Structure formats: C-alpha cells, structure tokens
Structure 1
Amino acid sequence: MPPSHDLPGLGPKSLAMLAAAGIHGRADLERIGSVQAYLRVKAAGQNASLNLLWALEGALTGEDWRVVAREERTRLLLALDAAQDATRR
C-alpha cells in the first residue's frame, strides 16, 4: 500500500481495508471512484461504515471527510444506491 500522503485523510485501517479489496493506491481509487471502491471494500468482507465512503471521496478531492459528509452526502448516497441497484440486476 502506498504511503498515506498518496491518499490524504486515510489512516492505516482504511488503507488495509482498501488493500483487502484489491485497491492499492491513488491510481486504483481514481480509476474506480469512491463509490465503487466502497462497494468493493464491503464485498471483501470488511466492516466499513459510510465514514469510509466520505473519506475515500475526500482523499480524491482533497476535502476533509467531515466536509464531504456534510456537503456531498446526498450525491454520494444516491450514487451508492444506483450502483447497488445496478449490481442487483
């Protein structure tokens, strides 16, 4: 896993969850996006809360996860719901 400065705001536990899901750095996260990364972490059996989704988006945008949770919550939850619906079909 890359150093944490590659994915700002993510600590060792979050990085370990990403690694368990086959996401090994910023390039992987940028390629698949925060929502799909979150879904992969969950599919890998990791016990991730929505705080991880906020932190993943924050790592991509440079925003603090708390700002993301406050300002981007609805957009991310709608994207998460749409992605989950797509996988059910």
Structure 2
Amino acid sequence: MSTRIEDMRNLGPAMARMLAEIDILREEDLRNFGTVEAYHRLKFRFGRHVTILALYAMEAAIRGCDWRALDTETKEHLRGQVLQNRH
C-alpha cells in the first residue's frame, strides 16, 4: 500500500491539496509521474504560486530525506531537467 502524499516527509496538507488537483494522491502516483513532470503540472495549474522548492520537496520526499539535505549537484540536475523539459 502506497503512502498518502500528506504523510510523506516535506509534503503537508497544502501540497497534498495541490497535487490532488493534478491526480497525484499517493506516493506511488508521484513516483510514476516523476518529480519533474509533477512540478511542470503544478506550475501549469498554479503558476507562480509554485516555486522550485516544491520540486526539491517532492524529490526529497521520494528519497525520504529533508529537502534541505539535497546536495547542490542534485538540485542543479533537477533545475536542468525542468528547463530542458518545458511544456
């Protein structure tokens, strides 16, 4: 059984509500979409209310660590993927 989004580290009720609006309700959904795709969908739906920190929080949630623990290389890689895969 997959963990509910609001029960994942870094992702609370507000993020869970936003992710639910793009059909991501559980950890398994987030893993299947991938954090970059989920970020793009959130940006499309919510615009400037979604910052790069949302991307870091989702990635760290999947990894099971605090988002501040992501190393610089990982953050740069994620930012690069976001820029490369713009919709």
TM-score range, shorter chain: 0.7 to 0.9
Structure 1 residue runs without a partner (length 5+): none
In the superposition, the TM-score normalised over structure 1's length comes to: 0.81
Fraction of identical pairs, as percent: 30
Matched, 1:74 2:76: yes
Aligned length: 84
TM-score, with normalisation over the residues of structure 2? 0.83
Question: What SS does structure 2 have at the residue aligned with 1:44?
Answer: helix
CA RMSD of superposed structures (Å): 2.0
1:31 alignment partner in structure 2 = 32
Cα distance change of structure 1 residues 56 and 62 upon mapping to structure 2, 3 Å threshold: same
SS at match of 2:65: coil
Structure 1's consecutive aligned runs of 4 or more residues displaced over 4 angstroms after TM superposition are: none
**5+ residue gaps, structure 2:** none
**Cα deviations across residues 20-67 of structure 1 (Å, max 9, x unaligned)?**
222111111000111110111111125111111000001111121112
C-alpha separation in 2, matches of 1:18 and 1:78: 22
- Kindly report which structure 2 residues correspond to 1:6-85, keeping only aligned pairs within 5 A, or say none: 7-45=8-46, 47-68=49-70, 70-84=72-86
